[in-house]
Amino acid sequence: MFALLGMFVMISGHNFLVIYLGLELLTLSSYALVALRRDDVQATEAAMKYFVLGALASGFLLYGLSMVYGATGSLALPEVMQSIAGGEATLKGSAQVLTLGLVFVVAGLAFKLGVVPFHMWVPDVYHGAPTAITLMIGGAPKLAAFAIVIRLLVEGLQPLAFDWQQMLAVLAVMSLLVGNFAAIAQTNLKRMLAFSTIAQMGFMLLGLLAGVVNGDTGNMANAYSSSMFYVITYVLTTLGTFGVILLLSRSGFESENISDLAGLNQRSPLYAGVMAICMFSLAGVPPLVGFYAKLSVLQALLASSGAFYVGLAVFAVIMSLIGAFYYLRLVKVMYFDAPTQTADIEAGLDARSVLSVNGALVLLLGILPGGLMALCAQAVAALLA
């Protein structure tokens, strides 16, 4: 509940201090949740890594925000935006301070998103935390992290878009590269999905690159709404994925290895079907929602004139094809390998219903994405107005 409150505070904040307080409330609660199993060495180690690296990233973000405050003289996002756009920060001789502050802000945000090279905590935390906590950390906080990126970089620092877009481009390319190739080598399902998350967040960042091109802000609404649609559909898909893993686990046994899902279709066609739909969606296979999410981001990139953006789109497609390997490998294990587990899968009607609805939404939103895309466009338009 504290983590949820922190998310609401940071999403709704229009002031550096309010946003930072909300962020810290979320992260401190997350540290405790990861260490929920106090006697588990793996969970304790993951929580310590998360705490140390998280404290470092929070310091980066706070230091960056303090520099922006020093250059602009304000903590309120609209006033910061007005000061930078009007050239007042430059007139005060604070341009270098502002640029350095932007670097620290982007570094802090990159950690919260879990993108390369600030990704070191993601595999360990996903692996070490109880599956229910992994489901939570891989879900709503990703939406909150996207919201704070939009708040700070678009609502507050949009005149510096040329600078932060270059940094995000490097982060996106490295995340797609490292995330996809590292996931191929994993045998632990939760670690594989952690590296998958890194790659997915890199793909989401591509949409943020296409908002401002050579000073032209005409593509902002399309680009940012595409990224928002991408992160919402990713969270929806990952909830189904970890939901299945959670139901397959039992007392004293975490169903976290890829081999634990062998022959799942023979034990439960429903759970195997939901997991297969989620895997196909993450891989970007039509007509699932993951395909349309990737397509919308690629369209936003291609709408920006320039060989650089076309090159990024081609690179993203190649990385998606590479990433499809480890998603489809899991489907092959579920449907074609002999079962290694014989225990009955026990779940109530509520759990089966939620998973069924989740899988159906991944399919239906891929076939009829217009409604959700329109809501994302309205939200971004209201922000930019």
Domain ranges of the chain: 2-384
Q: In 3D, which of 130, 112, 127 has the Cα closest to residue 35?
A: 130
Peptide bond into 339 cis (omega under 30): no
Residue with tokens 């390998």: 337
Question: Phi and psi dihedrals of 275, rounded to 5?
Answer: -65, -40
Using a cut of 0.85, tell me whether the model's pTM lies above it: yes
Give the model's pLDDT for residue 338. 80
Place of tokens 């006033």: 79
Residues in contact with 242: Cβ distance below 8 Å, sequence separation at least 6, in sequence order:
131, 134, 135, 138, 139, 193
Query: Residue 304: CB partners within 8 Å, gap ≥ 6?
Result: 209, 210, 213, 219, 223
pLDDT at position 277 over 60? yes
- Whole-angstrom distance, CA of residue 147 vs CA of residue 274: 28
Structure tokens at 264: 């799942």
CA dist 1 and 26 (Å) reads 9
Average pLDDT over residues 19-40: 88
> Among all chains, which residue has been given the structure tokens 């599956």?
131
pLDDT digits (tens, 9 = 90+) for 197-247: 999 999 999 988 887 777 777 778 888 899 999 999 999 999 888 888 888
**Taking a C-beta distance cutoff of 8 angstroms, is the pair 224, 207 a contact?**
yes
In the three-class reduction of DSSP (H, G, I as helix; E, B as strand; rest coil), residue 188 is classed as: strand
Helices (H), 13-76: 16-34, 41-72
* Integer Cα distance of 306 and 295 in angstroms: 18
What average pLDDT does this structure show over 17-43? 88
Q: What is the mean pLDDT of residues 264-273?
A: 84
Mean pLDDT computed over every residue of the chain: 86
For 332-345, how does the pLDDT look when each residue is reduced to its tens digit (9 = 90+)?
988 888 877 766 67
